[in-house]
Structure 1
Amino acid sequence: MELTTQGGFSTRVFGPRPRAGEPATVLVHGLGLSGRYFVPLARRLAERGATVLVPDLPGNGRSRAAAGRAPSPGDHAEALARWHLRLALGPVTLVANSVGCQVAAALAAEQPHTVSRLVLIGPALDPDVPAPHQVARLVRDVPREPPRLYGLAVRDYLVTGPARCAVEFHHALREAAGPFTDRLAGVRAPTLVIRGAGDPLASPAWTRRLASLTGDGRTAEIAGAAHAAHYSAPDATATLIEKFAADSPGGLV
């Protein structure tokens, strides 16, 4: 694993180094977190030959100083587009979790040349669910996740800061009420929406709805996993992504 900085981003690199013009797999974390909880999945994908890039979004993790204010999902997507340009990447397989799915949808819709395939894991937030209920669902998810994820998440939230996390949550709630689904309706890249069978935040109906909005969407479920299915079940998640990529033009790279 190598850590590099491009345009203010701190990026973990797994597998072959990225090359100009060549595609890669990019993993986008959720609100207030860093890319650390994507490491198990990144390693599984890299073991199978993929170039995997795991950036910490501006204002989060090792990129905490790269943003002076709390960015919205749309702001993060614009920053990712600039990061993609600086690295001179080809179209990527873009994989995101939770509120990171809003970021990924914005990038795929507004910069379609950057994304060849889109994978959304446990997408949040359902605009039909009131904010207090969303928080209650997150609390319900905690005992369903591996205990080792707790310490990792708490450390990341403390680095990002409670105030910034609160503002980013407000941004995400606002974008969930319209821009998120509107952007998904403009996505033409093949899209896979994954949920853990025990995920209280991303319901089956919500994931089916999101998949149906895209031009080429499908869903999958991972038994025994919850909201962070990529962390608790990295092998199963990697297999789903690889199968999805194999069924899509270009394969997984």
Structure 2
Amino acid sequence: MDQATEAGLFTRRFGPPPGEGTRTVVLVHGLGLSGRYFVPLARRLAAGGASVLVPDLPGNARSRAAARRAPAVGQAADALARWHEHLSLGPSLFVANSVGAQVVAACAARHPHLVSGTVLVGPALEPGASALRLFGRLVADAPRETFSLLVLAATDYLLTGLPRCAASFRHALRDAAESFEGNLGDVHVPTLVVRGAGDTIASGAWVRRVAALTGGRTAEIPDAAHAAHYTAPDALSALIDEFTAGEPV
């Protein structure tokens, strides 16, 4: 793994450098977190020959200094696009978890030339759900995740800062109410929507709705919850390989 700051965003790199004939994959984390919880999946994708890049979004964790305050979802998407263009990556597969799916949907809608496909893992936040209800779902999901993930997440939340996490949550709620579904409808690339069978945050009905809006497909990973990419990286890597190969998922 190589690490560097690119266009203001702390970035982890795995596998060969991007180039012709190499699949480029960008992994986008959720609210208040960093790319660290994508490392298990990144290593598996890189072992299969992909060039994998994992940025910390602006205002989060080791990219905290890239934004004076928590950016709105659209602002984060534009920053992600600037980072992508700075690196001259070419059209890439974007894999996102949780609120990262809102950022990727906005990026695909605003900057479609950068995105060759999307994999949305536990997409959140679900439009129409209240902040209290969503918080309750998050609390219900925690016991279903591994202890190591909970420690990692708690460390990232503290590094990002709880006030910024709260502001990001408000921005994500506003985006879910006003823009998320519209952005999903503007995603015109192959899309796979993945849900851990034990996910209490992204419901089965919502995952099917996301797939319908994007014209995509769904898949479910047994024995996983909201962070299926962390607890079941082998299963998700296999799904991504099948998806990018155009095989049935």
Q: Is the 8 Å Cα contact of residues 108 and 115 (structure 1) preserved in structure 2?
A: yes
Moved over 3 A (4+): 19-23
CA RMSD of aligned residues (A): 1.3
In the alignment, which residue of structure 2 is the partner of 1:232?
231
Unaligned runs of 5+ in 1: 249-253
In the alignment, which residue of structure 2 is the partner of 1:3?
3
Q: Give the TM-score normalised by the residue count of structure 2.
A: 0.97
In the alignment, which residue of structure 2 is the partner of 1:103?
103
Identity %: 62
Q: Match of 1:247, SS? A: coil
Q: Is the 8 Å Cα contact of residues 23 and 89 (structure 1) preserved in structure 2?
A: no
Give the Cα–Cα distance (whole angstroms) in 2 for the partners of residues 107 and 126 of structure 1.
18
Q: Is the 8 Å Cα contact of residues 21 and 90 (structure 1) preserved in structure 2?
A: no
Unaligned runs of 5+ in 2: none
Give the Cα–Cα distance (whole angstroms) in 2 for the partners of residues 104 and 235 of structure 1.
23
Q: Cα–Cα, structure 1 residues 185 and 95, in superposed 2: closer, same or farther, change >3 Å?
A: same
Give 1:83's aligned amino acid.
W
CA apart distance, 1:18: 2.5
CA apart distance, 1:19: 3.8
CA apart distance, 1:20: 8.2
In the alignment, which residue of structure 2 is the partner of 1:242?
241
How many matched pairs? Answer: 247
CA apart distance, 1:73: 1.3
Give the Cα–Cα distance (whole angstroms) in 2 for the partners of residues 20 and 56 of structure 1.
25
Give 1:226's aligned amino acid.
A
In the alignment, which residue of structure 1 is the partner of 2:55?
55
CA apart distance, 1:21: 10
CA apart distance, 1:89: 1.0
Q: Give the TM-score normalised by the residue count of structure 1.
A: 0.95
Give the Cα–Cα distance (whole angstroms) in 2 for the partners of residues 21 and 32 of structure 1.
34
Give the Cα–Cα distance (whole angstroms) in 2 for the partners of residues 221 and 209 of structure 1.
14
Give the Cα–Cα distance (whole angstroms) in 1 for the partners of residues 88 and 147 of structure 2.
38
Give the Cα–Cα distance (whole angstroms) in 1 for the partners of residues 94 and 21 of structure 2.
16
In the alignment, which residue of structure 2 is the partner of 1:183?
183
Q: Is the 8 Å Cα contact of residues 230 and 237 (structure 1) preserved in structure 2?
A: yes
Q: Match of 2:245, SS? A: helix
Q: Match of 1:49, SS? A: coil
